[in-house]
Each structure stands twice: as C-alpha cells, then as structure tokens.
C-alpha cells in the first residue's frame, strides 16, 4: 500500500511538472506560422512576396525573449515587416528606451518595417517615446494614411488605421480617415488595422476595400479549445469569431484577413493552446505553386545543413523502383534515364520509343516532362533561394551609445481627462491613479491634472 501511495504521489508530481512546463512553453516561447494568401491581384513580383506579421507585443511585458522574436523574423527572410498594434503596454512605466530602439532597429535591418497603433498604444503613458523611437529606428508609422510601396516594378498600397481613444472610429466606414490617390485605389491594397472585429467595416468604401487585412487584438482568444477556438477576446466577448488564422470576406473570397494570436500578455496573463507567434504571410496567385516553392527552399537549406530532403528520399525511392523493375525485365520510366536531366536528354534524342508514350500514359499520375515541373524552371513565382550562410545576422544587444536621443530630456506625460477622454501633453511630474474604463474595456492609468485638484 505504501508503494502504491508513493507511486501515486510521484505520478501526481510528474503531472504537475509536465503541466507547468507546458504552460511555460505556451507563454514564454514563440513559433512561426505560415499562411498563404491567394489572390489574382498578387501577380508578377508580388507572387511570392512575404510579410512578417507581428502583433500585440505589449512591451515590456512580452514574456518572450526579444532575440527569439527577431530570430524568427530573420529566418522568414521577409520582404517587409508589418506591426499591427499594441506595441507597448498602457502603463509601460519601466520601458527602456535603449532596448526599444535596438529592437526596432534590428527589425528595420532585416526588412522595411511598417506599423500602426492599437488601443494600448493610443492610451500609453509612453506614447511620445514610442513615436520618437520608431522614427529614429526607421519604422514607418502608418497613422491613418496610405503609402505606395514599390517592389521590383510592382506597386502596392499599404494602409494603416491607428486606434483612437474611443471605438467610434470603427463605426460605418472605418477607413474614412485614410486618404487614397486614384492610383492607390487601383493598386493591390494591404491594410494594417488592430481590430479584427471590424473586418466588414474595412470594406464599406469599395474604392478603399483592402485585398488583405493584417490584424491582432484578440490574443487568440486567450485559451483555445480544439474544435471550438478561443474562449474570449476584447470587443468580441465569449467564443469570438476572429481570433486566429485566415478569414474571407463574404461574397468575395479573394479579400482576406490574417489575424495574429500575438506575442505578449495583456490583462489576462495566461495562454493555453495559444502559443505566441510570428506570422509569415506569403502572397501568391497560386497556392499550390507557392507551397512547392517554399518546399524547395526548405529542402535547399536542409541539404546545406547536412539533412535528408524530400527530394533525396524520392530519388532513392525511384532508384529502388527502377532496380526492382529491371530485375523483372521491364523498365518503369525509360531504359536509360534515372534523373530529370537524363529523362530530358532521352526525350530530346528520342533514344527510347517509350519515352513520350510513358509520359502521356502516366500524366494522370503526375509523371511529365521535367521541363514542365515548377521545381525546374518557374518564371511566374518569385522563389529565389536565399543562401543564409552568406548573410550576417543583425546584432540585437542594447547599446546606450547607439540610442539617438538626449538622456537628459525627460519624456512628457500624457494627460487623459476621465470625463472627456481628451489627451493633453504635460511636462510636469503629476500623480496617477488606476481606474477601470468601461469605454476601453480594460485597465488604464489616468493622469490626474494637479490644476483640477
């Protein structure tokens, strides 16, 4: 009986240890999620264009090591980086400017970076510091504006919708504050907007309707249950609809929204089945071909690092299949060809009568002239393989000497009037009190104006 009791105790402790390890893994590590967004407008050089999507960092309470986040972004090798709000916490009083600048500068060293603000950024006591540091690091703040981004001769409209102190800006045409030129209206459009629950509102104006919306805010529903999804999200309530993944506009599936589960913690500090993520969004006109291109890149890197690739396994399988076929007196593909180049030569030189016939008969099974295989020559999809061994990783260590600011200048305070929600910048040191605002549906810090006391 004593042995059984000891075993049960050990089993219980082991279960608790495993549970604690799982919770820590879910909250303190980050992964990369790949999404392929298919739209016929993403053609030419935009076919294969990759965006690294970050959301809800909630610095300095992100839990995840900043170097790990940067490593994931770096490994994506994005064409641009998009940050969709809640970069800092509302009460980020211990935010270190040197660390913030170094993190932002590391992002812009990887790729051009664009950002828009969420509800925490709008109300943050460090709002001015955030704007100043982003600008110094080279991050483009899409504050209710649109820009034209040119990539290899292809123009792309990038729009950003900043969060406001109230949610009225999401009512009706949510993009009414974003002005577009006639040329920008005609271009493929991507919107950075913090609130996924306003997905339909972003398409009220047909001329500004984005082809892709990048969003966050929902934190993946905090606790995710398989087959059900997230349990709660701000501004969506219980069992929210838009918490993670790709969503399609009703009536026009080419227009899509990618929602990030985010990275940092907010008012509810625990994530379950909801690991922080960096998203890689791949634009394409053809998902199947895009996946093939990504597979080829992964195989190339695996081979460079000494691993076994899918192509190597397939080649070994075909070699064994040919050997067995020859042992029984027949040929599985052609008498002489063992790889793609030899098959091409066999067809060109007509060395075997069966070469064309075999390809025609086997076309339904996926066997064809290798010159028609997208792995061999594919001019439609931009899948240039990057040799990462030749790229020097950016340095992420914080260095006070590299921060372009005067340490003697104190950051001004932001005064939020509890009655009108108006924001005023004050330079004097004033007291704060914590209040609960139903309007913002979260805890915020309201700065008390000493002149009103």
What tokens does 97 get?
Answer: 């400017």
The rounded distance, in Å, linking the Cα atoms of 214 and 53 is 8
Q: Would you say 67 and 302 are in contact if contact means Cβ atoms under 8 Å apart? A: no
Q: Would you say 289 and 381 are in contact if contact means Cβ atoms under 8 Å apart? A: yes
The mean of the pLDDT values for the chain is 77
The rounded distance, in Å, linking the Cα atoms of 281 and 55 is 13
The rounded distance, in Å, linking the Cα atoms of 160 and 175 is 9
If one compares 362 and 113, the residue with the highest pLDDT of the two is 113
Q: What is the pLDDT of residues 24-68, one digit of tens each?
A: 878 889 999 999 999 999 998 999 999 999 999 999 888 899 999
- The full 3-state SS of 352-407, as one line of letters, equals CCHHHHHHHHCHHHCCCCHHHCCCCCCCCCCCCCCCHHHCCCCCCCCCHHHCCCCC
Q: Would you say 212 and 206 are in contact if contact means Cβ atoms under 8 Å apart? A: no
Q: What is the pLDDT of residues 257-272, one digit of tens each?
A: 999 999 987 777 788 8
User: Is the pTM higher than 0.85?
Assistant: no
> Binning pLDDT at 50, 70 and 90, where does residue 352 land?
very low
Q: What is the pLDDT of residues 366-393, one digit of tens each?
A: 444 444 434 333 333 333 333 434 444 4
Residue 379's pLDDT is 36
- Helix (H) or strand (E) holding 320, with range, is helix 310-327
Residue 288's pLDDT is 75
Angle between helices 97-110 and 66-76 (to 10 degrees): 10
Q: What is the pLDDT of residues 183-216, one digit of tens each?
A: 999 999 999 999 999 999 999 999 999 999 999 9
The conformation of residue 111, written as its DSSP 8-state character, comes to: S
Rounded to the nearest 5°, which phi and psi values hold at 232? -155, 145
Residue 280's pLDDT is 96
The rounded distance, in Å, linking the Cα atoms of 119 and 291 is 35
If one compares 361 and 296, the residue with the highest pLDDT of the two is 296
**For the chain, what are the domain ranges?**
30-327, 330-352+410-428+441-452
Q: DSSP H helical segments within 29-118, as ranges?
A: 66-76, 97-110
State the architecture of 30-327 in CATH terms: 4-Layer Sandwich (3.60)
Residue 322's pLDDT is 73
Burial class (CB in 10 A: 0-12, 13-18, 19+), 242: buried
The rounded distance, in Å, linking the Cα atoms of 93 and 91 is 6
Q: Mean pLDDT lowest for which of 70-74, 254-258, 339-343, 397-401?
A: 397-401
> Binning pLDDT at 50, 70 and 90, where does residue 435 land?
very low
> Binning pLDDT at 50, 70 and 90, where does residue 169 land?
confident
Residue 314's pLDDT is 76
């Amino acid at each position: 009986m004593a042995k059984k009791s000891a075993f049960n105790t050990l089993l219980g402790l082991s279960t608790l240890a495993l549970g604690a390890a799982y919770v820590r893994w879910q909250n303190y590590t980050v992964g990369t999620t790949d999404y392929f967004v298919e739209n016929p407008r993403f053609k030419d050089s935009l076919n294969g264009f990759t965006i690294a999507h970050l959301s809800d960092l909630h610095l300095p309470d992100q839990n995840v090591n900043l170097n790990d986040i940067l490593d994931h972004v770096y490994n994506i090798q994005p064409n641009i980086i998009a940050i969709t709000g809640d970069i800092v916490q509302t009460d980020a009083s211990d935010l270190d400017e040197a660390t913030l600048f170094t993190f932002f500068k590391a992002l812009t060293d990887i790729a051009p970076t664009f950002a828009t603000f969420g509800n925490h950024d709008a109300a943050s006591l460090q709002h001015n510091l955030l704007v100043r540091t982003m600008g110094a690091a080279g991050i483009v703040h899409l504050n209710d504006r649109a820009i034209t981004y040119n990539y290899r001769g292809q123009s792309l409209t990038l729009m950003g919708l900043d969060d406001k102190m109230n949610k009225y800006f999401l009512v009706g045409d949510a993009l009414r504050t974003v002005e577009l030129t006639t040329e920008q209206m005609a271009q493929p459009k991507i919107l950075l907007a913090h609130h996924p629950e306003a997905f339909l509102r972003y398409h009220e104006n047909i001329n500004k309707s984005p082809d892709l919306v990048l969003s966050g805010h929902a934190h993946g529903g905090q606790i995710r249950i398989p087959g059900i999804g997230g349990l709660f999200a701000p501004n969506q309530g219980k069992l929210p609809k838009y918490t993670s993944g790709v969503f399609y506009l009703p009536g026009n599936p080419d227009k899509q929204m990618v929602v990030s589960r985010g990275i940092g913690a907010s008012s509810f500090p625990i994530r379950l089945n909801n690991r922080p993520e960096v998203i890689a969004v791949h634009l394409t006109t053809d998902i199947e071909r895009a996946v093939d291109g990504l597979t080829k890149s992964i195989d190339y890197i695996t081979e460079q690092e000494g691993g076994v690739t899918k192509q190597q396994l397939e080649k070994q399988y075909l070699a064994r299949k040919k050997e067995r076929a020859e042992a029984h007196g027949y040929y599985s593909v052609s008498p002489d060809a063992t790889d793609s180049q030899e098959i091409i030569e066999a067809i060109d030189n007509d060395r075997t009568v069966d070469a064309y016939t075999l390809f025609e008969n086997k076309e339904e099974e996926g066997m064809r002239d290798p010159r028609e295989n997208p792995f061999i020559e594919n001019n439609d999809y931009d899948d240039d393989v990057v040799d990462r061994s030749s790229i020097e990783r950016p340095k992420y260590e914080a260095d006070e000497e590299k921060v372009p600011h005067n340490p003697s200048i104190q950051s001004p305070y932001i005064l939020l009037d509890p009655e009108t929600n108006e924001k005023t910048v004050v330079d004097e040191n004033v007291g704060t009190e914590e209040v609960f605002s139903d309007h913002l549906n979260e805890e915020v810090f309201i700065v008390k104006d000493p002149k009103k006391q």
